[in-house]
Amino acid sequence: MEYRKLGHSNLEVSAITFGAWAAGGWMWGSTDRNEAIDAIKASYDVGVTSIDTAPIYGQGVSEEIVGEAVKGYSRDKVQILTKFGMRWDLAKGNLAMHSKNNEGQDIDVYKYAGKESIIYECEQSLKRLGTDYIDLYQIHWPDSTTPIDETFEAVSKLIEQGKVRFAGVCNYDAAQMAEAEKTLKLVSNQIPFSMVNRGVEEETVPYCIENSKSILAYSPLERGLLTGKITSDYKFQDGDHRAGHPHFQPDFIEKTNKLLDQIKPIAEQHSASLGQLVLKWTIERPGITIALAGARNAEQAVQNAKAIEIKISKEELKTIDDLVNAF
């Protein structure tokens, strides 16, 4: 595995980081707790020391699973990345979405990052994770109802108390990052990035490069689309959010699979899967520090981690870049 520092910090994370959204089951149709724990442990065994989770993933379930999975490890050997600012148990801030929890009950999710709320959320996360500190604490989505300085003053307080080591953001644009920086030094921004979703390269990626902020690319496999295993007649489980997503409509799937067919020979040359090649391409992109990759079971987790082993040439990277640019 390869390890990379986040921003100006001394926090080193694995270039392939375990993304634990699907582990929580919420919006993914279901979860198997034991398989999710096994997946995290199998990842760790092949060098994936960093896990990214959030309270909203399964309304606490994902964090509990992460806590259980890392219980036996020396705490300084794993990096726990979690988030705050999405409340399903408090109707405050901006309504983000109407949803259903893992039991099928209706819930309303709010983007809210008020000071007291953050302090409360951190305590809950620490309990679920079974730890006394969080390595990277990230606001999950911008909250337009709370001044940015109030939010990051709360995070500063948590850093002073030793409950949080470093602060990051998710889904922030360059202007929001600059505003947050007036209160607290950020180390990273977690943003969506994939071969078929590159909007962040226009403004946010250049800002992060210029200001030495790390980028944690989420959905680099575009929620499984870039593995080549999704066909235009694919049937999703009940509760799987992908069924209604624009990238999972037959035309887009077909277009994507044509792109994947063109890069497949490069994957085959390296005895790699398409998913592995896509992950490797992602962490070779300018400004991208790590790729977050989710896995439902141990086998998928190990395959994701092994993407790091692909020795891809400059010529091959250029070939893939040209194909992606033409997409």
Question: What is the bridge-based pairing of β-strands 106-111 and 94-100?
Answer: antiparallel
Q: At what angle do helices 314-325 and 250-269 cross, to 10 degrees?
A: 170
Residue reference for tokens 């309504």? 95
- 118 neighbors 154 (Cβ within 8 angstroms): yes
Helix then strand then coil, % of the chain, to nearest 5: 45, 20, 35
The residue written with tokens 């991208």 in the block is: 288
- Count of CB atoms within 10 A of residue 229's CB? 13
Kindly report the backbone phi and psi dihedral angles of residue 259, in degrees, each rounded to the nearest multiple of 5, phi listed first: -60, -45
What tokens appear for 141 in the block? 């989505």
Torsion sign across C-alpha atoms 231, 237, 242, 246? positive
Q: What is the mean pLDDT of residues 276-294?
A: 97
Beta-carbon contacts of 285 under 8 Å, excluding residues fewer than 6 positions away, are: 193, 217
Q: What's the rounded Cα separation, in Å, for the pair 193 and 197?
A: 6
Mean pLDDT in residue range 240-265: 93
Can you give the pTM of this predicted structure? 0.95
pLDDT at 200: 96
Nearest 5°: phi and psi at 80?
-100, 120
pLDDT at 27: 64
pLDDT, residue 17, reads 98
Q: Is the pLDDT of residue 157 over 80?
A: yes
Q: CATH for 3-228+275-311, among 3.30.470.20, 3.40.50.970, 3.20.20.100, 3.50.50.60? A: 3.20.20.100
| Residues recognised as catalytic | 57
Provide the pLDDT confidence category of residue 30 given band limits of 50, 70 and 90: low
d(CA 163, CA 64): 18
Percent of the chain surpassing pLDDT 70: 98
Neighbours of 247 (CB within 10 A): 18
From the centroid of its chain, how far is CA 73? Answer: 22
Judge whether residue 26 has pLDDT over 80.
no
The pLDDT value given to residue 22 = 83
Residue where the block lists tokens 């953001």: 169
Cβ atoms of residues 68 and 100 within 8 Å: no
- What pairs with residue 87 in β-bridges? 110
